[in-house]
């Protein structure tokens, strides 16, 4: 793994924005985050970091990998009442699909993941993934790093 590179997991409801759309668009601004913990995670992302793309609600599985191509900047989708710069977004690029999507059920079934934020804080939409968890999830999904 490259020096200091961090790993993440981002969630999207496929009804709102799906992996297929991410692939079709290539680079896409990751907007709409309105939670302070998730915002702090967005701000900690560095260019070149990788993130799992997770489908919430429908599918409930990791379906692909994206790369951060632009670090945090003001979210242009804020409402007129929100102060400018209150919320941020990053740009992410589709890297590739998980050969074998990793389901939430499979993750929950493995005691190694009890500390994973996806399990512990089910409502958090942008979260860090430890190097160990990243490696293991890649292995489960057939992803070649």
Partner DNA sequence: GCCAACGTTGGC
Q: Which stretches of the chain bind DNA, using CB under 7 A? A: 11, 13, 35-37, 56-57, 60, 104-105, 108, 118, 121-125
Classify the phi-psi angles of 26: left when phi > 0, otherwise alpha if psi is within -120 to 50, otherwise beta: left
Decide whether 48 or 114 has the Cβ nearer to DNA: 114
Considering beta carbons, is residue 94 or 116 the nearer one to DNA?
116
| Shortest Cβ 51–DNA spacing (Å) | 14
How far apart are alpha carbons 109 and 59 in whole angstroms? 16
Choose between 47 and 57: whose C-beta lies nearer to DNA: 57
**Taking the complex as a whole, how short is the minimal distance between the CB of residue 96 and DNA, in angstroms?**
22
Neighbouring CB atoms inside 10 A of 106's CB total: 16
Nearest 5°: phi and psi at 98?
-70, 125
Q: How far is the CB of 128 from DNA (least distance, A)?
A: 15
Q: Extract the tokens encoding 32.
A: 């709409």
Q: How far apart (Å, rounded) are the C-alpha atoms in residues 62 and 53?
A: 6
Q: Retrieve residue 34's tokens.
A: 């309105």
Q: Supply the minimum distance, in Å, between the C-beta of residue 50 and DNA.
A: 20
Would you mind telling me the total number of residues written for the chain in this entry?
145
Give whichever of 50 and 118 is closer to DNA, judged by the CB atom.
118
């Amino acid at each position: 793994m490259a020096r200091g590179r961090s790993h993440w997991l981002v969630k999207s409801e496929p009804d709102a924005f799906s992996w297929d759309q991410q692939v079709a668009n290539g680079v896409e601004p990751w907007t709409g985050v309105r939670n302070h913990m998730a915002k702090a995670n967005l701000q900690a992302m560095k260019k070149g970091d990788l993130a799992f793309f997770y489908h919430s609600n429908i599918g409930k599985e990791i379906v692909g990998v994206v790369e951060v191509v632009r670090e945090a900047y003001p979210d242009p989708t804020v409402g007129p009442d929100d102060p400018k710069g209150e919320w941020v977004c990053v740009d992410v690029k589709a890297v590739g699909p998980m050969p074998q999507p990793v389901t939430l059920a499979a993750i929950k079934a493995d005691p190694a993941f009890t500390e994973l934020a996806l399990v512990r804080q089910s409502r958090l939409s942008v979260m860090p993934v430890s190097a160990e968890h990243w490696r293991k999830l890649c292995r489960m999904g057939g992803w070649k790093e």
